[in-house]
Amino acid sequence: MRIIRAADCKVMPWKNGGGTTTEIAVAPEGASLSDFDWRISMAHVGQDGPFSSFPGIDRTLSVLTGNGIRLAFGDGETVALDRAGKPFFFAADRAVDGLLVDGPIDDLNVMSRRDGWTHSVERLSGGSHEVKAERGLLVLVARRGEWQVTGVALAAGDSAILPAPTVVALHAESAGELFVIRLSPA
């Protein structure tokens, strides 16, 4: 298991220059925004505006803080995301504008190169859980509370990457929140 502490994450500008993102993990290590296989990051969105286009990439967005964001796609589809909703999967090469509901948000962004990787994202609340990954990688991102991951503590903002196949026992108090990301070769 590889532990990534919050303090060790890299802050970098958005592809479109409209803000900054905190990179949690990327493959291959050190890959740029144009040549990654997969990427996990958090961003602060302080104003309405267009999302960066990532040709050939699939993306899942989850609201971490704030009152939500409405995604207005170029084809007319609109989707409202908030902290209570499920993570939302979409093609990152679709034209989309983000419209904040009532003030800024922070989000979790998971992206994978469509021809090489697939991914899924699940939000867990505190308590005890057993999480499985059959192939690829399992990535755990702790958002609130301290999580016990097979005897290792993850504080809020910390992450863990585990190779599959794996079964992991997780536990946090009721106020805990953690994201489970499964990355698999296509």
pLDDT (0 to 100) of residue 153:
94
Q: 185 or 21, which is more confident?
A: 185
Q: Does 121 score more than 90 pLDDT?
A: yes
What is the residue extent of each domain of the chain? Answer: 8-113, 117-185
Q: Note whether 105 and 69 are within 8 A (CB).
A: yes
Q: Does 101 score more than 80 pLDDT?
A: yes
Mean pLDDT within 93-117 = 96
Domain 8-113, CATH 2.60.120.10 — does that match? yes
pLDDT (0 to 100) of residue 16:
67
pLDDT (0 to 100) of residue 151:
86
First to last CA, the chain: 22
pLDDT tier, 17 (very low <50, low <70, confident <90, very high otherwise): low
Same fold, 8-113 and 117-185: yes
Query: Strand pairing of 2-4 and 10-13?
Result: unpaired
**Quick one: tokens of 115?**
């021809």
Q: What CATH architecture is 117-185?
A: Sandwich (2.60)
Among 154, 121, 153, 100, smallest CA distance to 41 is for 121
pLDDT tier, 155 (very low <50, low <70, confident <90, very high otherwise): very high
pLDDT tier, 18 (very low <50, low <70, confident <90, very high otherwise): low
pLDDT (0 to 100) of residue 48:
92
pLDDT tier, 174 (very low <50, low <70, confident <90, very high otherwise): confident
pLDDT (0 to 100) of residue 127:
94
Q: Report the predicted TM-score, pTM, of the whole model to 2 decimal places.
A: 0.94
Q: Does 73 score more than 70 pLDDT?
A: yes
Residue with token string 């505190």: 126
Q: Does 39 score more than 80 pLDDT?
A: yes
